[in-house]
Amino acid sequence: MSRPLENKLALVTGSSRGIGAAIAIRLAADGAYVIVNYAASPARAEKVVKEIRNAGGNAEAVGADLSTVQGINKLIASIDQVFGASFGGRLDILVNNAGTVVFGPFMEGAEDSYDKHFNLNVRPLIALSKDAARRMLPQKWGRIINIGSIHGESAPIPGVTMYVATKFAVHGFTRGLSRELGATGVTVNAVQPGFIDTELSPANGQAEDMKKLTSVGRFGRVEEIASAVAFLAHPESAFINGENLTVDGGWSA
Ligand SMILES: NC(=O)c1ccc[n+]([C@@H]2O[C@H](COP(=O)([O-])OP(=O)(O)OC[C@H]3O[C@@H](n4cnc5c(N)ncnc54)[C@H](O)[C@@H]3O)[C@@H](O)[C@H]2O)c1
């Protein structure tokens, strides 16, 4: 089996479940040593690590609540403290996946709606990208992959205005940083999923309406986002930079 990411260290934020877990499992299957970040559930993160190890891969769970500056700093410190002996402070692949959405009309939203969305969907993504780029630049190779959303390009449904604002920020940041790092061997891209059946966007009462808007007629699977991330992480994807890759079953066609 081909292992294009052999000897690479990959960090996937929020990878104890959902899309992040699928990305961690896929990058490990492609040969990367994966840091499985989680905020609240060590048991679920350990389950992901176990699945990776059982399949012959390498992974370690690191707890850090990325909605706080302390959590971001803790995760950054672990790259040296936990993995420094094996990887010398290197980081090859960063996948900024952790994210949240609070559904409901903007005008009825809680006062802390801004903090809840921006402190998780945007602040750690920017801080971790800066730290990762510092580690990647000397080796002239790196992949920063941000998980955006189709809500980062338009606002297809009401009731998620703050989420839309954060995902537009993710796409804008992706383009801006890709422009700055373009000639260094470090690429910066985003994957923008459509509706994927996870705890964040469960196939609930709206499911049938959502499916009708997707030309392939179903919700996406987490593995289908993971393969798009693996594609962008692949050494052969060096000429793809600043791209927001839509994986939405034709929703936004
Ligand atoms: N599911 C969808 O339909 C969909 C569509 C477009 C984009 N996305 C994006 O995909 C990403 C993953 O979403 P998902 O659907 O797997 O959702 P999910 O709720 O299942 O997973 C979110 C992940 O983020 C982690 N997380 C939550 N708070 C955290 C914190 N404070 N610190 C660190 N990690 C934290 C969770 O533990 C979990 O692993 C998000 O960025 C989301 O915006 C999802």
The stretch 198-207 carries a mean pLDDT of 68
Is the confidence at residue 118, as pLDDT, over 90? yes
pLDDT tens digits for range 23-62: 999 999 999 999 999 999 899 999 999 999 999 999 999 9
Q: How far is the CA of 18 from the centre of ligand 1 (A)?
A: 7
In ligand 1, which atom is closest to the CA atom of 66?
32
Q: How far is the CA of 138 from the centre of ligand 1 (A)?
A: 31
CA 96/CA 98 separation, integer angstroms? 6
Closest among 104, 223, 92, 229 to 160, alpha carbons compared = 104
SS3 240: coil
Strands 93-96 vs 142-147: parallel, antiparallel or unpaired: parallel
pLDDT tens digits for range 72-111: 999 999 999 999 999 999 999 999 999 999 999 999 989 8
Is the confidence at residue 178, as pLDDT, over 90? yes
Contacts of 51 (CB under 8 A, 6+ apart): 25
**Pocket, ligand 1, Cβ cutoff 6 A:** 13-20, 38-39, 65-67, 97-100, 120, 147, 149, 193, 195-196, 198-201
The stretch 214-227 carries a mean pLDDT of 94
Contacts of 153 (CB under 8 A, 6+ apart): 168, 171, 192, 244, 246, 252
Predicted confidence band at 206 (pLDDT cuts at 50, 70, 90)?
A: low
9-247 belongs to which homologous superfamily? Answer: NAD(P)-binding Rossmann-like Domain (3.40.50.720)
Mean pLDDT over the full length of the chain: 95
Q: Report the pLDDT value the prediction gives residue 210, as an integer from 0 to 100.
A: 75
Residue 198, both tokens: 């996870």
Q: Amino acid identity of 248? A: D
Q: Report the pLDDT value the prediction gives residue 209, as an integer from 0 to 100.
A: 73
Q: How far is the CA of 98 from the centre of ligand 1 (A)?
A: 5
**Residues noted as catalytic:** 163
CA 151/CA 145 separation, integer angstroms? 17
In ligand 1, which atom is closest to the CA atom of 121?
41
Contacts of 33 (CB under 8 A, 6+ apart): 7, 8, 9, 10, 58, 59, 60, 83, 86, 87
